[in-house]
Chains A and B, each alone.
Chain A
Amino acid sequence: MSDLTKLSIAAARDGLKAGDFSARELTAAHITAMAASKPLNAFITETPEVAVDAATASDARRARGEAGKLEGIPLAIKDLFCTKDVLTTAASHILDGFNPRYESTVTSNLWAEGAVMLGKANLDEFAMGSSNETSYYGNVVNPWRRQGDNRDLVPGGSSGGSASAVASFSAMGATGTDTGGSIRQPASFTGIVGMKPTYGRCSRWGVVAFASSLDQPGPMARSVRDTAIMLEAMAGFDPKDSTSVNMPVPNFEAALTGDIRGLKIGIPKEYRLEGMSEEIGALWQQGIDWMKAAGAEIIDISLPHTKYALPAYYIIAPAEASSNLARYDGVRFGLRVEGKDMNDMYASTRGEGFGAEVKRRLLIGTYALSAGYYDAYYLKAQKVRSRIAEDFKQAYLSVDAILTPTAPSAAFGFGEKGDDPLEMYLNDVFTVPASLAGLPGISVPAGLSKDGLPLGLQLLGRPFDEETVFRAAGVLEEAAAFTAVPADWWRG
């Protein structure tokens, strides 16, 4: 039998349906690949027993003629999703030993459609990071390396473990969450597809909260079609999430018509950053040419407040985090460090339990919300956010989608951007504006850097118009014909 891990989700679905192989065989192949990928540190917790049981149940369901949309497909789950009776860490020391007694809505939806969990994927602590260097469980390593160079590179973040697992063929797909680019940027760094749906499309219930007005779960996989199949299974109205939107979930896969003739695609001039690397600029131009050749109409647009998105984000997200993370108090779950009284216990627990980047953001957020500074920082940032959202609203009067690079660079080395947090924050310069506006966006691998590393292009759409995003992404994917895969050095 050929290597089952190299199949796409769509092909595996067809193979399972035709009886070419069983869910148990497909899962066993991925358990072996996952075990061999240990040097990448993509998983915090591997759950091979859970996977075998789920695959066995999946084969039984199929035999009864009850196959779901992801029947028998093995996935990695970002360790930010609560999974019943399976350790859930958010990659933080402060959640030591936390075994949720409930299942997140998104993962419940996946299991209801027959998907199989391989394990819990590593991430930046509480999803705060762009390189997966802040995890309490250690760095995740990118399967890709520069040509002729055997130094390890970051996989991007915060969904770095999810990205690395999918890019290394350890999982067919993975869940991610995107607050400011945490699905799209690691997808770009690892040569896979990552889709952030419209805010409200996927339920946040049971997802460890970072910044509630921005957090949005989404799929990561090796093709646009595979992410479309996954999103359809993940999405849906959930009364338990107050910002979940009650709208029918379309058949996203059916949106992949391959036809974008007459589609209006906007190119925002503000994304042409001063000092932008030549190869990113060239890739973007290549993407524009591909879309034009496919019959799309290219329109120059302006999103005038783009440069203020990052600073607004770095007030809003930390402010919401400081409120959300107040729950880690050493009382209800996770780590407790004893102290001489209650306050001392809180301060010791949180001082020891949170890593440096999380502390930095919680202090910024607490400061931005504190008496006397609330108007100057938080309220001001929320007003700037309105103007950024208004920019997009204006743009969408004349275009159907927007094409930009996903990230300002290819994957970089460990510690290369460690000294100055601001330099790290700039990784998200192209992804944060759409996060603030709540818009759907996808990163599609579009080419290789001069060092042989993958580079992604991003397509953004109107709210709840993931179908157009998928349709355009499918055309982009076909034009780019990105077939490069990393050499599997980690198998030793």
Chain B
Amino acid sequence: MSLDKAAVAKVANLARIRIEEKDLEPMAAELNNILGWVEQLGEVDTDNVEPMTSVADMRLRWRADAVTDGGYVEDVVANAPSREDGFFAVPKVIE
């Protein structure tokens, strides 16, 4: 599997990261270098091996689906680059 310029542009769009046109080619080379190296994972026999999803032999804890805290509108929006009346303000999304 090898990424070309168009594939990098597609991934960059998925990640919502602007990559300048002139940087696509070098980025493709860098990513292919890394992905090529990762290919060696194919040598490992992983038939009947469960993917590791937890470090300790434990299940995620459950908790009651209850409100335990809140009422911090000012704290929540305090760091927003743009805010209005306790809301985050964003560019218009609906015409």
The answer to the question of B22 belonging to the interface, with a C-beta cut-off of 8 Å to chain A, is no
Interface status of B67 (Cβ within 8 A of chain A): no
What 0/1 readout, one digit per residue, does chain A (89-130) give for beta carbons within 8 Å of chain B?
Answer: 000000001111110000000000000000000000000000
Q: A342-B93, A350-B17, A360-B31 are in contact. Are A101 and B56 (CB under 8 A)?
A: no
A198 touches B56 (CB 8 A): yes
CB of A151 within 8 Å of the partner chain: no
Check A463–B56 contact: CB distance below 8 A: yes
A364 in the interface, Cβ–Cβ < 8 Å?
yes
Q: Decide: A363 near B15, CB < 8 A? Known: A101-B72, A380-B41.
A: yes
Min CB distance A382 to B, Å, is 3
Asked if B12 and A363 make an inter-chain contact with CB atoms under 8 angstroms apart, the answer reads yes
Contact mask A313-335 → B, CB, 8 Å, 1/0?
01100000010001001111111
Q: Which of A7-15, A254-262, A383-391 contacts B (4 or more CB under 8 A)?
A: A383-391
Instruction: Give Cα A354–Cα B27 distance, bound, in whole angstroms.
Output: 15
**Most interface-central of A198, A243, A314, A384 (chain B CB within 10 A):** A384
Stretch at the interface among A63-71, A366-374, A470-478: A366-374
Which among A155-163, A221-229, A304-312 touches the partner chain? A304-312
When distances are taken between beta carbons in the complex, the residues of chain B under 8 Å from A364 are: 31, 34-35
Within A416-437, the residues touching B (CB, 8 Å) are 420-422, 436-437
B55-A380 in contact (CB<8A): no
**Size band of the B side of the interface?**
35 or more
- B37 near A311 (CB under 8 angstroms)? yes
A482 near B: Cβ within 8 Å?
no
Using A242-B61, A351-B17, A463-B56 as known contacts, say yes or no to A314 and B44 having CB atoms under 8 A apart: no
Q: In whole angstroms, how far apart are the Cα atoms of A350 and B13 in the complex?
A: 11
Report B82 CB to chain A, min CB distance, Å.
7
Chain A residues proximal to chain B, CB less than 8 Å: 97-102, 198-200, 213, 239, 242-243, 245, 305, 307-308, 311-312, 314-315, 322, 326, 329-336, 338-339, 341-343, 345-348, 350-352, 354, 359-360, 362-364, 366-367, 370, 373, 376-377, 379-387, 389, 420-422, 436-438, 463-464
Residues of B within 8 A of A (CB): 1, 3, 8, 11-19, 27, 30-31, 33-35, 37-38, 40-44, 46, 49-56, 58, 60-61, 63, 72, 75-76, 78-82, 88, 90-93
